[in-house]
Amino acid sequence: MWKPGNTCLARSDWKIACFLTAFPKMPYFARLFLFFFCLVLLVESRNPGRRPWSGQLEMPRLSHLSKKTHDITKFQKGKTEQLLRVDEHDFTMRPAFGGPAIPVGVDVQVESLDSISEVDMDFTMTLYLRHYWKDERLSFPSTTNKSMTFDGRLVKKIWVPDVFFVHSKRSFTHDTTTDNIMLRVFPDGHVLYSMRITVTAMCNMDFSHFPLDSQTCSLELESYAYTDEDLMLYWKNGDESLKTDEKISLSQFLIHKFHTTSRLAFYSSTGWYNRLYINFTLRRHIFFFLLQTYFPATLMVMLSWVSFWIDHRAVPARVSLGSTTVLTMSTIITGVNASMPRVSYIKAVDIYLWISFVFVFLSVLEYAAVNYLTTVQERKERKLRDKVPCLCGMLHSRTIMLDGNYSESEANSLAGYTRSHIVTDEEKQEKIVVHLALSDESNTSRKKGLKGHMGLRIIQNTHVIDKYSRLIFPASYIFFNLIYWSVFC
C-alpha cells in the first residue's frame, strides 16, 4: 500500500509492489532503457558457459614453478652490481695493492694442435686458459654458498690478470656466438676466469736431422705489467694443470709428451717476471718421406747402374739414361728444399740426396771415360794399320817372346787361309820387325810392375771398366746406406 510521500517500505515484497505501481508513471525513455537492461540480465543469466560477474577482478593462478622460484632480475634492477659492490671499489688496482704479491693459479686444457709449419717455424694451438685468484672486494653474502657465473660483460668492470703469450705471432679469443669468456665468483671472493683462445707462437726448430728429427716447442705465459713483486703466476696443480684431448693428432708428427715448467724471466728495464711454459715434444713420421724422397732417390741410383750392362757402342741409350737420372735427382732435391726453410746448415736428407746425386753423376762420368778410352784405342789401332799396310797373314798374331826368338812355324801360321794370302820371306821379315817393336813396348811396360800392367790391360780393354763398375758402385752405395741409417736413426 502506498503511504504519504510516495515512499516504499524496506521489505522486499513492498519494493516490488512499489516498482510495479510506479512503472506506468515513468517517462517513455526511462521505461525503454529499463526494458533493455532487464533483457540483458535475462540473456546473461541463461548463458551456462560464463560465470556471473562478481564485481571483483580475478587474478591468474600461479603454477607450482612460479611459487618455488622467482626471477630476481624482474623485481630488483642492478642486483648483481649492488651485490658485488662493483661501484664501491677501484678495480683498476690489483687486489691487496701495496701488500704482498697476489697469487694467480693457472691451468690449461689443450683442445687441439692445429698445425706445425717448418717454413715459418711456428705452431697453432687452441686451448682453454683458466685463472684462479682471490679478490675480497667481490665477496658477497650467501646462505647457500653458491657461486655466481657471468659472461664477458662483467670482465670489463673488474680487475683480471694481464697474462699474454710470449713469442706469439697471432692470437684471438673466440667470439661465436658470443665472446667465449666465463667469470665465476664465489661468496668468499675467489674468482675463476676462463677463456677459449687460439694462438700461433714461434717454435725454434733444428732441422739437422730432418726428416728423422724430433722437435720440442713451448708456449710461454707471462704477466705483461706486474712483476713478481706484484703478481705471482704458478701452475695451480703442478703437472696436472695441463690436460690434453686424447684425440689430438697431426698428419706429420707423433705427439710424444706434454709437460709444464716455470721460471723467472728478467728484463733489464722492468725487472723479474714469473713465466710459465707449456712444453711438448713432436716426433716426425718417416713413412711419408720414405715414399716421397728416399725410395725415388734410391731407385734413380739403381737405374743409373743399368748403363753398366749396356754395350759401350750404344751411345744414345747410355747417354739418355744417364741424363734422365741426373735430371730426376735434381727435381727431387728441388722439391724437398721448396718445402723447407732456407737454413745455413746441412740436413740429413740433404746428405742422402746429394750423395745419391754423386753416384748418378759418377755413372755418367764412367761412361764418358769408357767412351773416351775406346776412342783412343781405336785411334791407335788406326795409326798402326796405316804404318803396316798389309797384315793379312797375321790377323791373329801371337805374342813373341821377350828375347826376340821366333820359330818358322810361328811366322808361317797360316791355318785357315787361302793360298792367295801366303806371303813371301821378305814380307815375313817386315812383320817380324813390327811384332818385335810391339814386344819391346810390352817389355817396357812390364818393367813398371804388375800394377801398371793391370792398369794397361784395363785401358786397352774398355769392357773391364764396366765389369768393375758393376761391383764397385752397388757395394759402395750399400755401405753408405748402412752408415747413414745407423747414424741418423
On whether residue 178 sits in a domain, the answer given is: yes
CA pair distance 225, 218, nearest whole angstrom: 22
CATH code where residue 378 lies: 1.20.58.390
450-460 helix and 463-488 helix, angle to the nearest 10 degrees: 110
Residue type, 68: K
Q: What's the average pLDDT block by block, 10 residues per block, for the chain (489 residues)?
A: 47 52 64 73 62 47 47 47 68 86 95 91 95 91 84 88 94 92 92 96 93 94 94 92 87 88 94 95 92 95 93 88 94 89 90 96 92 86 75 46 44 44 47 45 50 50 82 96 93
- 61 domain residue, yes or no: no
- The domain boundary, picked from 231, 251, 284, lies at 284
* Beta carbons within 10 angstroms of residue 93's beta carbon: 11
> Considering the domain boundaries, does residue 129 fall inside one?
yes
**Could you give the strand order of the β-sheet that contains 271-284, starting from the edge strand earlier in sequence?**
163-166, 214-223, 271-284, 253-267
Please report, in angstroms and rounded to a whole number, the separation of the first and last CA atoms in the chain: 131
Same domain? For 313 and 196 the reply is no
The domain boundary residue, chosen from 255, 284, 313: 284
Residue 159 grid coordinates: 680487475
Distance (Å, whole) CA 110 – CA 94: 28
Q: Which residue has the cell 726453410?
A: 341
Instruction: Decide: helix, strand or coil at residue 100.
Output: coil
Q: Are residues 231 and 125 part of one domain?
A: yes
Strand 271-284 and strand 253-267: the pairing is: antiparallel
- Based on the fold, state whether residues 278 and 323 are members of the same structural domain: no
Residue at a domain's end among 261, 284, 307: 284
In terms of residue numbers, what domain contains 303? 288-384+473-488
Distance set, CA 314 to CA 184, 305, 321, 468 (Å): 84, 15, 11, 19
Calpha distance 246→307 (Å, rounded): 53
- Spell out the residues 6+ positions from residue 326 whose beta carbon is closer than 8 angstroms to its own: 357, 360, 361, 364
> What is the reported pLDDT for 82?
57
Q: Which ranges of 93-227 does DSSP label H, i.e. alpha helix?
A: none
412 is a domain residue: no
Q: What is residue 44's predicted lDDT score, i.e. its pLDDT?
A: 65
- Tell me, what DSSP letter sits at residue 418? -
> Residue 8 in contact with residue 18, Cβ under 8 Å?
yes
List phi, psi (to 5°) of 106.
-130, 135
151 and 120 fall within a common domain: yes
Residues 248 and 125 in one domain: yes
Is 342 within the bounds of a domain?
Answer: yes
Where do the H-state alpha helices sit in 305-347?
Answer: 315-338
Residue 196 lies in a domain: yes
CA 214 to chain centre: 13
Q: Are 275 and 334 contained in the same domain?
A: no
Q: Note whether 187 and 314 are same-domain residues.
A: no
User: How many domains in the chain?
Assistant: 2
- Among candidates 294, 296, 305, 298, which has minimal Cα distance to 362? 305
Are 189 and 181 in contact by the 8 Å Cβ rule? The answer is: no
CA distance 313 to 165: 69
What distance in Å separates the CA atoms of residue 140 and residue 310, rounded to the nearest whole number? 93
Q: Give the sign of the dihedral formed by CA 377, CA 379, CA 381, CA 384.
A: negative
SS3 call for 277: strand
What distance in Å separates the CA atoms of residue 369 and residue 367, rounded to the nearest whole number?
5
Only one residue has cell 716455470, namely 262
- Residue 42 included in any domain: no
In whole angstroms, give the CA distance from residue 221 to residue 219: 7
Looking at residue 292, the DSSP 8-state letter turns out to be I
| Contact by Cβ (8 Å): 160, 129 | no
pLDDT value of position 58: 46
Same domain, 223 and 272: yes
Shared domain for 249 and 314, answered yes or no, is: no
Domain at 215, CATH number: 2.70.170.10
Global pTM exceeds 0.95: no
Q: Angle, nearest 10°, between helix axes 425-446 and 450-460? A: 120
Q: What does the block give as the cell for 28?
A: 517513455
3-state DSSP percent of the chain in helix, strand and coil, to 5: 45, 20, 35
Give 41's contacts (C-beta < 8 A, 6+ positions apart). none
pLDDT at res. 376: 86
Q: Does 274 lie in the same domain as 148?
A: yes
Residues 199 and 217 occupy one common structural domain? yes
**Which SS3 state, helix, strand or coil, does residue 429 take?**
helix
User: 14 lies in a domain?
Assistant: no
Do 333 and 225 lie in a common domain? Answer: no
Q: Are 26 and 34 in contact (CB under 8 A)?
A: yes
- For 104, other C-beta atoms within 10 Å of its C-beta total 24
| pLDDT confidence of residue 144 | 82
